[in-house]
Structure 1
Amino acid sequence: MTVTKIEPVTKSKYKIYLDGQFAFVLYKGELSRYQIEEDGLLEEAQYQRIRNDIVLKRAKLRAMHLLTDMGRTESQLRSKLALGGYPEDIVGEAVEYVKSFGYIDDMEYARSFIESRKDKKSRKELYAALSQKGVEKELIEQAFEECYGNEDSRAAIEAILQKKKYDPHTADHAQTQKILGYLVRKGFHYEDIRQVIQVSEWNA
């Protein structure tokens, strides 16, 4: 393989291109240690040593650190590693490595995410948020079934009404229509909203 390009990323880090394709990122000292220079040759054995002993090892440690820092979905972790300059194949192996220890579990992530927010957010909002984080549709739907069971979204509606300081006894028609519109836009069902407001009136 020919080192076709060495591109600075920072003062100490460089992108290495082999045969015109991005291969990995190395530090300045590693360039010297492995005698990597533009137009130079890199033997297959040397390439595998660098890939497995340096780059892949570094990616695995980075993945572990990212997951220790905060919970992430598989998609989020892949994106973070890619942004860190790791090629797709290295990212894939690093992700499989942490998955083998159970450090990534999108199903468990979805469950935890829903449980911690279902009394404040509608299902529509939670679904959108999890989709944006890269959780697959089937996992989101399964998590909803497990977290909600036969429950509805009324607890979340009640919490929002309290937060908005909505009082069904003192609110006029315009205020009621405004809060109804707000809750419907957030993804709550009209019938659930109506019943929560009626119960609030009866219990007052």
Structure 2
Amino acid sequence: MDELTRAKHRALYILERCDRTEQELRTKLSRNYEPEIVEEAICYVKQYDYINDKRYAVNYLKSRCQIKSRRQVEQELLYKKGISRDILEEACQETEAQDESLLIRRWMEKKHYSPETATQEEQRRFYQFLMRRGFQSEDILREMRSRAFE
């Protein structure tokens, strides 16, 4: 079996277990094969639509936005998964935006955060925690205030 055939089989084997982005597949294949072989193997799986970054981004957005802020998920796709900005924009248009206030309320419950009884220090820490998770400042403050007056 020649090198190209092995690379194609390896690409199919990698994609058999779970969907990957083109960059993830390229990274995995480049550990064992020359760049030209890697590109040909990627073209091979692309021609059968076994790898499709837009489909991957849409599925990733739908599944991850249930537990993470949309901004955090978009950052993961851009910088960890190697999705291009154009493909990400197309995928965002295909998926509907998640209600992030619901996610913030879930975090409040999970962290046992109560705005009525929280000290200023606890409020500040919880606010920063949510900011690091990619939530918008106005969404966080709105939920923290609305919970305080319930």
Give the TM interval when normalised to the shorter protein. Answer: 0.7 to 0.9
Query: What is the one-letter code of the residue matched to 1:81?
Result: L
**TM-score of the pair, normalised by structure 1:** 0.66
State the match for 2:7 in structure 1. Answer: 59
Displacement of 1:156 in angstroms is 2.3
Question: Which of 124, 135, 144 lines up with 1:188 in the alignment?
Answer: 135
Contact preservation (8 Å) 1:119, 1:159: no
Contact preservation (8 Å) 1:120, 1:157: no
Question: Which of 83, 87, 91 lines up with 1:143 in the alignment?
Answer: 91
In the aligned structure 2, how far is the partner of 1:107 from the partner of 1:62?
22
Higher relative contact order (CA 8 A, sep 6+): 2
Pairing 1:7-156 to 2, within 5 Å after superposition = 54-84=2-32, 86-131=33-78, 132-149=80-97, 151-156=98-103
Give the number of aligned pairs: 149
State the match for 1:178 in structure 2. Answer: 125
4+ long deviations beyond 3 Å:
198-202
Contact preservation (8 Å) 1:74, 1:105: yes
Change (3 A) 1:156 1:143: farther
Displacement of 1:66 in angstroms is 0.2
Which structure dedicates a bigger proportion of its chain to helix?
A: 2
For the residue of structure 2 that corresponds to 1:148, the secondary structure is coil
Query: What is the one-letter code of the residue matched to 2:90?
Result: Q
Displacement of 1:128 in angstroms is 2.1
For the residue of structure 2 that corresponds to 1:140, the secondary structure is helix
Q: Which runs of 5+ in 1 are unaligned?
A: 1-52
Query: What is the one-letter code of the residue matched to 2:49?
Result: G
Change (3 A) 1:109 1:82: same
**Percent identity of equivalent pairs:** 36
In the aligned structure 2, how far is the partner of 1:183 from the partner of 1:148?
22
In the aligned structure 2, how far is the partner of 1:196 from the partner of 1:160?
11
**TM-score of the pair, normalised by structure 2:** 0.87
After superposing the two structures, state which structure 1 stretch, 109-118 or 152-161, moved more. Answer: 152-161
Change (3 A) 1:153 1:144: farther
Contact preservation (8 Å) 1:114, 1:126: yes
Query: What is the one-letter code of the residue matched to 2:9?
Result: L
Displacement of 1:152 in angstroms is 4.4
In the aligned structure 2, how far is the partner of 1:199 from the partner of 1:145?
30
Displacement of 1:201 in angstroms is 4.0
